Amino acid sequence: MNPLEKLYSFGNRLHRRMVKSVRIPGTKILSIGNITTGGTGKTPATIYFSRLLRAEFPNQAVLSRGYGGKLAHETNLLSDGYRVLMSSGDAGDEPYLMAVNLPGVRVAVGRNRLKNAQRLLAEFSTGLFLLDDGFQHYRIARDADVVLIDATNPFGSGKLLPQGILREPIENLARASVIVLTKTDLLERAALDELRERVRQISGLSHIFLSRHRADGLVKIPHEYTPQYVAKVQSTALLKHETVWALSAIANGRAFSEMLRRAGAEKVETISFRDHHDFSERDIRMVLERVKPYDIVVTTEKDYVRLRKHADALKSLKQFFYLKIEFEVLENEILLKEGLKARLMHH
């Protein structure tokens, strides 16, 4: 471990020791997080876990820090479950995405998640809080910790920040209640089995779950974007025989292009920016110069949130869609649900 990594690791341990975990009586806390920076597909996974536990916990709320949002330092209700009360610029892309995809679920953003939780509990008697990106958030004591690991790049170089992508040493996976490997369909079976076994040994868990991000279809842009609006999803079959442009600003643009190929696109051109990139007018001009009017342009739903402010300029794209992605657990989903229920109900 080099000096920078040592310093980061020391800071992380000190932070854990100094922060006193607070239990919130009368409610259950489920954290969904990861051990690396970016790219594990946490947003679709949080939406998935909310739906998975909806029957048992109908009164839910998501607590997000609101990364990238202008008002992330404040405490705000982004969605009351029926209306979106903040812009994506103020709230951050990921919580905004959760708000429009989880009708009936409240979403709160802000660094002080404990304050948000206490407020939501007092006002709405919330039964279950989903702590978005909560594995390194020690302030709130939780009943279960779900950790996602990107199978295509599980631990990067194995180095801690700032040298690598690890937020904490991999031995800390032993704190997890459930571990789900994501994007497992993009990995050869032998490599996947090896990774699964390695994670099992590090974590001490008897079962490691496998998942993928499935292309569910295409949503034509523009369309209404509220929790109550059900988007019309079209088949990805229309990508065949066309030039398809994959436009994204996410941690793993290659995986997005690969997903489009698997969904039937034969000729994929890529325009990618760094994760959380804020699209400028110049970027949009560059896109419009490169793309022919009859080409198909497909972006991610997360990027669509950020591209909407350029809606007028993008009107010239005749075939503009975002890819609707669903998080899918590939086997033993009942075991996952029952295991989480047991932890949440009896913890």
Check whether residue 252 and residue 333 sit in a common domain.
no
At residue 231, the pLDDT reads 85
Task: Walk along the chain (347 residues) and give the pLDDT tens digit of each residue.
Answer: 777 777 766 667 766 667 788 999 999 999 999 999 977 889 999 999 999 999 999 999 999 998 777 877 778 999 999 999 999 989 998 999 999 999 999 999 999 999 999 999 999 999 999 999 999 999 999 999 999 999 999 999 999 999 999 999 999 999 999 999 999 998 999 999 999 999 999 999 999 999 999 999 999 998 788 888 888 999 999 999 999 999 999 888 888 999 999 999 999 999 999 988 999 999 999 999 999 988 999 999 999 999 999 999 999 999 999 999 999 999 999 999 999 999 998 86
Is the pTM for the entire model greater than 0.85? Answer: yes
Check whether residue 171 and residue 232 sit in a common domain.
no
Check whether residue 84 and residue 181 sit in a common domain.
yes
Check whether residue 163 and residue 19 sit in a common domain.
yes
Q: Are 108 and 75 in contact (CB under 8 A)?
A: yes
**Neighbour-count burial for 308-347, b at 16+ CB within 10 Å, e otherwise:** ebbeeebeebebbbbbbbebebeeeeeebbebbbebbeee
Q: Are 156 and 165 in contact (CB under 8 A)?
A: yes
Rounded CA separation 326/154 (Å): 21
Check whether residue 118 and residue 267 sit in a common domain.
no
Check whether residue 154 and residue 56 sit in a common domain.
yes
Check whether residue 69 and residue 109 sit in a common domain.
yes
Check whether residue 70 and residue 141 sit in a common domain.
yes
Check whether residue 19 and residue 83 sit in a common domain.
yes
| H helices, E strands: number in the chain | 11, 13
**Domain count along the chain:** 2
Check whether residue 47 and residue 106 sit in a common domain.
yes
At residue 226, the pLDDT reads 84
Check whether residue 56 and residue 140 sit in a common domain.
yes
CATH number of the domain to which 127 belongs: 3.40.50.300
Q: Which domain holds residue 302?
A: 214-326
At residue 15, the pLDDT reads 64
CATH number of the domain to which 242 belongs: 3.40.50
Query: Sign (positive/negative) of CA torsion 66, 71, 74, 77?
Result: negative
Check whether residue 177 and residue 259 sit in a common domain.
no
Rounded CA separation 160/306 (Å): 30
